Amino acid sequence: MDERATRTDGGREEATAGDLGFELLLRYLGSHFGLDFKQYKPNYLKRRIGVRMRATGCGDYLQYRQYVRQHPEEYGRLINDLTINVTEFFRDPDVYEVLRSRVIPEIIDYKKKIGSYNLRAWSAGCATGEEPYSLSILFLEATAGRNTQTPWMLRITATDLDDKALKAAREGFYESVKLLPGIDLRRYFDQEGNGYRVKEEVKRPVRFLLLDLMHKPPLRHLDLILCRNVLIYFERKKQAKILDIFSRCLREGGFLVLGKSETIVGPEGSSFKPYRRKERIYVRT
């Protein structure tokens, strides 16, 4: 691929031509398909575009641009490659244990104190749905039988850029499911063929939406945002923009949970203070 060729040749001119080709490709993709590719880290982007270039037999970025022009369906394949949907139920169980034992009870106590029985969360970069459904199960566990006079209203907005992943998420069918200890699989899933389907009770509170994280969703006064293993793909400046969006969507005292290899740094982090460092849980100040 272009990047490698320019590196081994080491020529300044070729490196510049490669960079220009890359720039022109991104500009083309951005103007024709509307996604700001510059939000991603260049090396990550080059690796993923490189995979598609090899698959389509294109030798450099400009050839690939031409290819996309002639085969617009290639854009969908590129997006699929760019958006890695690896996920699972209760990914990093230690984090979900803290959500279960500390964060969700705190949210519920706060809501009871202010007399509001609405619980609102956002799973940003929800992939195939395991994350919002895990959250839905935790909230259901926490509110079951708590107050039958005033039933809790749970709303989880789950967003992703990848419509194929969202389609699978809406289906709610999984070949394997791993839950936290103490959660009864049969209460939340129906066995179906060689897999499990989430029950309506788990699905009902979750609303899936196609959304680029760069665009602010119409969400306000949220109690909790999970944005896990998504920020790592973004440029620092874009991370800051996303954190700013999160701080506007959360209520004061609302929680933000990042992936285990992600942290909040810099001035944009000033709206958040660590709640549990190891589990990457923050509170909106």
Ligand X SMILES: C[S@@+](CC[C@H](N)C(=O)[O-])C[C@H]1O[C@@H](n2cnc3c(N)ncnc32)[C@H](O)[C@@H]1O
Q: Residue 258 — φ and ψ, nearest 5°?
A: -105, 175
What is the dihedral sign for C-alpha 263, 265, 268, 272?
positive
Candidates 49-57, 123-131, 170-178, 217-225: pick the segment binding ligand X (CB under 6 A): 123-131
Candidates 65-73, 84-92, 101-109, 268-276: pick the segment binding ligand X (CB under 6 A): 84-92
Question: Applying CB under 6 A, does 125 fall inside the site for ligand X?
Answer: yes
Please give the residue whose beta carbon sits closest to ligand X in the complex: 83
Q: Are 161 and 211 in contact (CB under 8 A)?
A: yes
Q: Are 99 and 134 in contact (CB under 8 A)?
A: no
Nearer to ligand X, 91 or 100 (CB): 91
Nearer to ligand X, 60 or 162 (CB): 162
Nearer to ligand X, 188 or 233 (CB): 233
Question: Applying CB under 6 A, does 87 fall inside the site for ligand X?
Answer: yes
What one-character DSSP code corresponds to residue 103? Answer: I
Residue type, 238: K
Q: Residue 125 — φ and ψ, nearest 5°?
A: 85, 55
Query: If DSSP states are collapsed to H, E and C, what string results for 238-272?
Result: HHHHHHHHHHHHEEEEEEEEECCCCCCCCHHHHHE
**Interface with ligand X: number of residues (CB under 6 A):** 20
Structure tokens at 152: 């809790």
Q: Which parts of 231-270 interact with ligand X (CB under 6 A)?
A: 233, 259
Instruction: Please state the closest distance from residue 128 (CB atom) to ligand X, in A.
Output: 7
Q: Which parts of 176-235 interact with ligand X (CB under 6 A)?
A: 212-213, 228-230, 233
The string over 31-48, giving b where at least 16 C-beta atoms fall within 10 Å of a residue's C-beta and e elsewhere, is: eeeebebebbbeeebbeb
Q: Which of 6, 85, 134, 239 binds ligand X (CB under 6 A)?
A: 85
Q: Which residues pair with 142 in a beta bridge?
A: none
Nearer to ligand X, 157 or 229 (CB): 229
Q: Which parts of 11-70 interact with ligand X (CB under 6 A)?
A: none
Site string for ligand X, 142-171 (x = CB under 6 A): ------------------xxx--x------
Candidates 109-117, 125-133, 137-145, 248-256: pick the segment binding ligand X (CB under 6 A): 125-133
Question: Applying CB under 6 A, does 280 fall inside the site for ligand X?
Answer: no
What is the edge-to-edge ordering of all strands in the sheet holding 189-192?
Answer: 173-174, 195-198, 189-192
Nearer to ligand X, 9 or 212 (CB): 212
153-160 vs 189-192, strand pairing mode: unpaired
Q: Which residues bind ligand X (CB under 6 A)?
A: 83-87, 91, 125, 127, 131, 160-162, 165, 212-213, 228-230, 233, 259
